[in-house]
Chains A and B, each alone.
Chain A
């Protein structure tokens, strides 16, 4: 019960704060719209296909989740509430987990809006069923990636600025824009560390592997966040370095 209460408090707070900064909401919805327009380049004649819809939904959800989660940590620091949370029985991890969850919900809403806007352009939904499965599996993994990044900036206060560079870098390996085979050869091995939203590469076998990779990321993210919370509570280093 105590766990749910801390998670819920973090989630509710995050949604309230987001409502207070509408530019952040607009910005998080515009990123998938802008990137979606690029992804659909050349589709004026042939129409938008299933893969493009899956990629746009992925960018909407993960982009919002990542950016807002990082902002959540920065806000808690700036408000002075992170130090207070560290001393409460719940620690930092649970309220932050709640905020990451709320950011994901926010991302899902953004995805729904963006997909509705793009609906008139859609010509084929051939891979949409398989695409949805691929998307859900990938998002589980990218939630883990987000938690790992959040735990990094909980431990290192000056690392928050570093996240800007990570978004496009990880997007490169996600399959949202291009297939792994199109990447320069030197970059391909890194791509296998991340779940892919490439529907063309999805089969029963590859989806099972993707699921394993995603669950591994989620477990690692949860462990890292718990570790960061404990470290900050015990050493206070997260407020210094």
Chain B
């Protein structure tokens, strides 16, 4: 019991230190811009745009809230690796007996909480801006959708973190993947409206089914079990791939002694 408590304490300390270092709390401009201004700006930008295009705003506002959650997690977890490298602690972390995946998941916890806050703020503020109201019960129905999205994005974030271990360019991966999610999952604009065909790509991405479930919950108050299961399956595949990639990158670093391969 005492060991479990000590372990939980270690996890909390690692998570807090990593999180505090990320946004330089002495000057919280970065936090306000990334977690508050950006999600609201994205929601307003795409909300107005899609409203002009289709006459319907609310599905896009839900989609941008989902993207805010995903973005906070993907960038946060990748930056956790980049900061360890910048502070010179990545080598020590790698050399420590802690399991790399466990250490990374500990660092991911605050970003999940942070992502949920960003999503709530994005949705709340954009609903105020666009004068949209939703029955309170619908938000409860949406909780499983957001939970499953957070699960699948954790898997994708592990993949991106593996890339951040392999490469010194820690922002390129999340930037590109965020763009792919924005365009190809239907979060902002229905895939059928895009001027190019994406074939089977959307089905392979996290968020495609999850954002559909979130929209179904917040627009119709219905729990879309099929979409939730699909998102869960995709998330599990990404989690397996991400854990494997992290373990591979970790082994490569230990064997070669290099903390970046490019």
Binding site for B on A (CB under 8 A): 21, 23-24, 26-27, 30-31, 34, 37-44, 48, 78, 121, 156, 158-166, 168-169, 171-172, 177-178, 182-184, 186-187, 241
Closest chain A residue, CB of each to CB of B75: A164
Report yes or no: B37 in contact with A166, Cβ–Cβ below 8 A. Answer: yes
Number of A-B contacts (CB under 8 A): 121
Chain B positions within 8 Å of A121 at CB level: 195
Interface of B toward A, CB cutoff 8 Å: 23-24, 26-27, 29-34, 36-38, 41-42, 44-46, 48-49, 51-54, 86, 129-130, 167, 169, 171-173, 175-176, 179-180, 182-183, 188-189, 193-196
Cβ of B217 to closest chain A Cβ, rounded Å? 24
A180 to B129, CA, bound (A): 15
Contact partner of A24 (CB less than 8 A), chosen from B86, B172, B189, B196, is: B172
- B36 contacts across to A, CB distance below 8 A: 165
Tell me the dominant secondary structure on chain A's binding face.
helix
Of the residues A34, A41, A171, contact of B193 by C-beta under 8 Å: A41
Chain A residues with Cβ under 8 A from B42's Cβ? Answer: 168
**Is the beta-carbon distance between A162 and B179 smaller than 8 angstroms?**
no
Are the C-beta atoms of A27 and B188 separated by less than 8 Å?
no
Q: A38-B46, A164-B34 are in contact. List 19 more A-B contacts (CB 8 A).
A: A39-B49, A41-B53, A41-B189, A42-B53, A42-B193, A78-B86, A121-B195, A158-B24, A158-B29, A161-B29, A162-B29, A168-B45, A169-B37, A169-B41, A171-B45, A172-B41, A177-B45, A182-B52, A241-B27
Tell whether, in the assembled complex, residue A164 and residue B26 are in contact, meaning their CB atoms are under 8 Å apart: no
Question: Contacts A23-B173, A161-B30: A31 and B179 contacting too (C-beta < 8 A)?
Answer: yes
Q: Chain B residues near A27 (CB, 8 Å)?
A: 171-172, 175-176
**Given that A38-B183, A161-B30 are known contacts, is A178 also in contact with B189, CB under 8 Å in the complex?**
no
Q: Pick from B24, B34, B41, B196 the residue with the most CB of A within 10 Å.
A: B41
Give Cα A163 to B37, complex, Å. 10
Return chain A residues, CB-CB under 8 Å to B183. Answer: 34, 37-38
Given A23-B173, A164-B34, A172-B44: A44 in contact with B49 (beta carbons within 8 A): no
Complex CA gap A201/B27 in Å reads: 40
Contact A172 B45 (CB under 8 A): yes
Specify which chain A residues have a CB less than 8 angstroms from the CB of B180 in the assembled complex: 34
Task: Decide: A160 and B30 in contact? CB cutoff 8 A.
Answer: yes
Structural contact, A38 and B37, CB atoms closer than 8 A = no
Q: List 20 A-B contacts (CB under 8 A).
A: A23-B167, A23-B173, A27-B176, A30-B176, A38-B46, A40-B195, A41-B194, A42-B54, A78-B86, A156-B29, A159-B27, A161-B30, A162-B33, A163-B33, A164-B38, A165-B38, A169-B41, A172-B41, A178-B48, A183-B48
